[in-house]
Amino acid sequence: MKPSLAVWKFASCDGCQLTLLDCEDELLTIAGQVTIAHFLEASSQVLPGPYDVSLVEGSITTSADVERIKRVREQSKVLITIGACATAGGIQALRNFGDVNEFRSVVYATPSYIETLATSTPIAAHVPVDFELRGCPIDKGQLVEVISAYLVGRKPDIPNTSVCTECKRRGLTCVMVADGTPCLGPVTHAGCGALCPSVRRGCYGCFGPMAGANLLALTGQLKTCGMDDAAVGRVYATFNVAAFDQGENHDASQ
């Protein structure tokens, strides 16, 4: 019997599950190897669990979803989070550092209709996760690699280095050294293939912090490039805000 694949959505933009549909060359091949048992964005056919591999997109932001992710975990042999929302809480985790009631009243005239938690948290804060795939959005090649690896029961080959290593491998000239452009490449988890430096832009951290990132040193360098404290604060506070916040203290003034 073919292994079953399920795709689940929590608070997110749908971009990471769309990445699976963006595998135009591989999609029908993958669909031939697995039974797509639950993938609402792509199919109205829903098969009951258990599922061999579940891909989970999105962060946990409601009390109902706190319960739903537990049921997904119970039904899944392997649970893989896909993307910055599921892995780090996403940009909606900016609420963790603000006042969610005030946020709610800014967007909605009758805030009491809106049920939401004060925090946006990653899946791993609620249930055990077997593998976390980074990115905002995830990389197509890495997604195919992770699915293939789990289907045959091997470890995915996903490098745990920085964007700098990908940039060097592409032979790109360093935007920070050559142009003085602020770049998060030295502290950001590899995976995109150094997309921003390839268009002479500084990395802005879509894949979140790499393990052991030296944020303190980079913060000094960003300031040398002309960023003030507020700008440095903002550049870390985007799609992986909660992960960067948990990293080493990046405020060099302290």
Using CB under 8 A as the criterion, which residues of the chain lie in contact with other proteins when the complex forms? 9-19, 21-22, 24-25, 27-28, 31, 36, 39-46, 61-62, 65, 90-92, 94-95, 98, 100, 102-104, 106-110, 113-114, 116, 120, 136-137, 192, 195-196, 198-201, 204, 206, 231, 234, 238-239
User: Which residue is it, tokens 């998060």?
Assistant: 184
What is the smallest separation between the CB atom of 22 and other proteins, expressed in angstroms?
A: 6
Of 47 and 177, the one with the shorter C-beta distance to other proteins is 47
How many angstroms separate the CA atoms of 251 and 249, rounded?
Answer: 6
Task: Indicate the DSSP class of residue 25.
Answer: T
Tokens of 73: 């975990």
- Taking CA atoms, 68 is separated from 53, 55, 78, in Å, by 17, 14, 16
What is the smallest separation between the CB atom of 122 and other proteins, expressed in angstroms?
A: 15
- C-beta separation of 51 from 5 below 8 A: yes
Of 11 and 127, the one with the shorter C-beta distance to other proteins is 11
Tokens of 26: 């591989």
Of 137 and 186, the one with the shorter C-beta distance to other proteins is 137
Of 39 and 131, the one with the shorter C-beta distance to other proteins is 39
What is the smallest separation between the CB atom of 100 and other proteins, expressed in angstroms?
A: 8
What is the smallest separation between the CB atom of 199 and other proteins, expressed in angstroms?
A: 4
- Taking CA atoms, 75 is separated from 42, 70, 244, in Å, by 20, 9, 31
